[in-house]
């Protein structure tokens, strides 16, 4: 049966609401509503002004609703920001009825155990994703339901976030008259849209370079192992261009998108770009190669930070499928080559696939998170819709799966 699902990606530079229909998580998604607006009240993935952010969210939701003709009561929302941390933890549960095998309640209790970790004040667990189970010491079990034994153990990837940052995000979405669902860590959502199953099995790193942040998620053996967020992104590149070419931010942004390149050698030395700002009396020209040098320096720095982060995590040796880049900044010409050089691994650009309907604006790396949120949502919507079913009745509510820490 077709399900309806909505998602809001609240980024540093843009808010994107998508509404889709699909029979299930892994199937083709039919996009029936798209609403994209410039973000406001956001800094480095975090809400800094609730009323401004809420206005931008409401405008984006309104547009998607108008286009689709479908009202949105609830939507899956991603959470971002450097406050997000991750760790891997174990939980144990006694199998309540060994004669009947492992029940869903046993699995839930084991997962609750994995979530019960010591975390700093003001942090909370936002997701605990099972990586594998063992029963009476036999590991490698992926689906323990119904299996016999006495002791169930789960290995889980646990992601925590700042309570106040999550609360502010929730308030913004509620102010836009939408019930927020999730929250889904931004890179985990993006991974759902652009990573292939074979890459997740072999070992891969997702690198989502957005406007204010760079998000990382490491996968191996089909599961997430490490998630983290770095406070640098495309806005830093634009700021460098402002400084280097003495241009206002808007002009620098336009020049970056129209003429930017991450490899100076790929640009002819005599090429120029117009940096004339509105109100300038004389036309101002700058060398395009110089522009590329500015961009290259920052892009190299971003990948050096990514490399440091994965080395620090200890999972750098597992990445045989290399890196997949997404986020708006992944559209920069030459970025793949710079990533390959710095990370010393195969690199490809990730674009959301298996979409139909209103796809022209969203089949690009900048929409990995919003499309991935839809896929996450479909996987989460376990209860079938009723005839007149309201979304909020049939999908898990924000935080229902969060235990006090």
User: Which of Mg ion, ligand ATP, none interacts with 14 (beta carbon under 5 to 8 A by kind)?
Assistant: ligand ATP
d(CA 298, CA 73): 41
Does residue 210 interact with ligand ATP by CB under 6 A? yes
Instruction: List the interface residues with Mg ion, window 343-402 (CB under 5 A).
Output: 369
Residue 350 found at the interface with ligand ATP (CB under 6 A)? no
Non-local CB neighbours of 317 within 8 Å, separated by 6+ positions: none
First to last CA, the chain: 38
The residue from 53, 195, 235, 395 that contacts ligand ATP (CB under 6 A) is 235
* Token couple for 44: 């480095």
CB of 397 to ligand ATP, least distance (A): 24
Under rule CB under 5 A, which residues in 198-217 are in contact with Mg ion? 210
Q: Pick what 332 binds: ligand ATP, Mg ion, none; C-beta below 5 to 8 Å, kind-dependent.
A: ligand ATP
For ligand ATP, the binding residue among 257, 277, 285, 317 (CB under 6 A) is: 257
Q: Measuring CA to CA, which residue among 373, 346, 387 is closest to residue 173?
A: 373
Does residue 11 belong to the site contacting ligand ATP (CB under 6 A)?
yes
DSSP H helices, 69-185, are: 104-115, 163-175
Residue 68 binds: one of ligand ATP, Mg ion, none (C-beta under 5 to 8 A by kind) = none
In the complex with Mg ion, which residue's Cβ is closer, 200 or 213? Answer: 213
Subset of residues 34 to 73 that bind ligand ATP, contact rule: CB under 6 A: 39, 45
* Dihedral class, residue 108 (left if φ above 0, else alpha if ψ from -120 to 50, else beta): alpha
Between 309 and 316, CB nearer to ligand ATP: 309
Of 3, 7, 11, 185, the residue at the interface with Mg ion (CB under 5 A) is 11
CA dihedral 335, 341, 347, 352 (to 10 degrees): -20
SS3 content of the chain, % helix, strand, coil (to 5): 35, 30, 35
Question: What is the C-alpha separation between 128 and 142, in angstroms, rounded?
Answer: 15
> Judged by CB, which is closer to ligand ATP: 144, or 187?
187
241 binds, among Mg ion, ligand ATP, none (CB under 5 to 8 A by kind): none
- DSSP of 298-339, one letter per residue? HHHHHHHHHHHHHHHHT-GGG-TT-EEEESGGGGSTTHHHHH
Nearer to ligand ATP (CB atom), residue 45 or residue 377: 45
Best CA proximity match to 384, nearest among 68, 23, 108: 23
- Judged by beta carbon distances under 5 to 8 A according to partner kind, the member of ligand ATP, Mg ion, none in contact with residue 329 is ligand ATP
The string of DSSP letters for 13-55 reads SEEEEEEEEESSTTS-EEEEEEEEEE--SEETTEES-HHHHHH
Rule CB under 6 A: choose which of 327, 352, 372, 377 binds ligand ATP: 327
Pairing label, strands 323-326, 347-349:
parallel
356: nearest Cα among 78, 70, 23, 35: 23
Residue 45 contact partner, candidates ligand ATP, Mg ion, none, CB within 5 to 8 A by sort of partner: ligand ATP
Does residue 211 bind ligand ATP (CB under 6 A)? Answer: yes
Q: Are 30 and 20 in contact (CB under 8 A)?
A: yes
Contact 43, 10 (CB under 8 A): no
Pick the piece of the chain touching ligand ATP (CB under 6 A) from 69-77, 135-143, 156-164, 322-330.
322-330
Q: What is the CA radius of gyration of the chain?
A: 22
For the bound state, the minimum distance from the C-beta of residue 60 to Mg ion, rounded and expressed in Å, comes to 13
Q: Which does 235 bind (CB under 5 to 8 A by kind): Mg ion, ligand ATP, none?
A: ligand ATP
Give the one entry of ligand ATP, Mg ion, none that residue 260 binds, where binding means its C-beta sits below a cut-off of 5 to 8 angstroms depending on kind.
ligand ATP
Q: From residue 71 to residue 90, what is the string marking binding to ligand ATP with x (rule CB under 6 A)?
A: ---------x----------
Q: Which is nearer to ligand ATP, 220 or 326 (CB)?
A: 326
Q: Which residues bind ligand ATP (CB under 6 A)?
A: 11-14, 39, 45, 80, 210-213, 233-235, 238, 253, 256-257, 260, 327-329, 331-332, 366
Q: Which residues bind Mg ion (CB under 5 A)?
A: 11, 210, 369
């Amino acid at each position: 049966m077709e399900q309806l699902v909505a998602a809001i990606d609240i980024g540093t530079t843009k808010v994107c609401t998508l509404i889709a229909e699909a029979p299930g998580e892994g199937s083709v998604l039919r996009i029936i509503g798209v609403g994209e607006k410039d973000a406001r009240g956001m800094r480095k993935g975090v809400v800094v002004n609730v009323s401004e952010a809420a206005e931008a969210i409401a405008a984006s939701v309104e547009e998607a609703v108008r286009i689709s003709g479908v009202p949105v009561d609830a939507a899956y929302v991603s959470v971002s920001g450097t406050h997000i941390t991750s760790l891997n933890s174990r939980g144990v549960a006694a199998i309540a009825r060994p004669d009947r095998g492992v029940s869903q309640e046993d699995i839930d209790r084991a997962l609750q155990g994995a979530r019960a970790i010591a975390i700093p004040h003001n942090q909370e667990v936002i997701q605990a994703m099972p990586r594998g189970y063992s029963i009476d010491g036999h590991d490698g079990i992926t689906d323990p339901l119904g299996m016999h034994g006495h002791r169930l153990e789960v290995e889980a990837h646990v992601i925590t976030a700042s309570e106040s940052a999550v609360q502010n995000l929730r308030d913004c979405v509620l102010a836009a008259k939408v019930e927020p669902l999730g929250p889904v860590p931004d890179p985990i959502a993006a991974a759902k849209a652009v990573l292939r199953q074979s890459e997740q099995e072999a070992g891969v790193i997702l690198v989502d370079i957005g406007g204010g942040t760079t998000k990382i998620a490491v996968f191996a053996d089909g599961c997430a192992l490490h998630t983290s967020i770095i406070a640098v992104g495309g806005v830093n590149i634009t700021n460098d261009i402002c400084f280097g070419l003495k241009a206002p931010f808007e002009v620098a942004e336009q020049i970056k998108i129209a003429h930017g390149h991450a490899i100076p050698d790929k640009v002819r030395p005599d090429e120029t770009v117009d940096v004339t700002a509105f109100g300038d009396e004389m036309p101002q020209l700058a060398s395009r190669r110089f522009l590329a040098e500015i961009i290259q320096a920052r892009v190299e720095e971003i990948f050096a930070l990514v490399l440091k982060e994965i080395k620090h995590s200890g999972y750098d040796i597992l990445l045989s499928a290399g890196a997949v880049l997404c986020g708006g900044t992944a559209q920069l010409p030459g970025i793949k080559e710079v990533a390959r050089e710095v990370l010393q691994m195969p690199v490809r650009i990730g674009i959301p696939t298996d979409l139909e309907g209103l796809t022209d604006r969203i089949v690009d790396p900048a929409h990995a998170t919003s499309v991935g949120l839809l896929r996450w949502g479909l996987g989460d919507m376990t209860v079938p819709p009723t005839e007149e079913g309201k979304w909020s009745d049939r999908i898990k509510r924000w935080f229902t799966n969060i235990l006090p820490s």
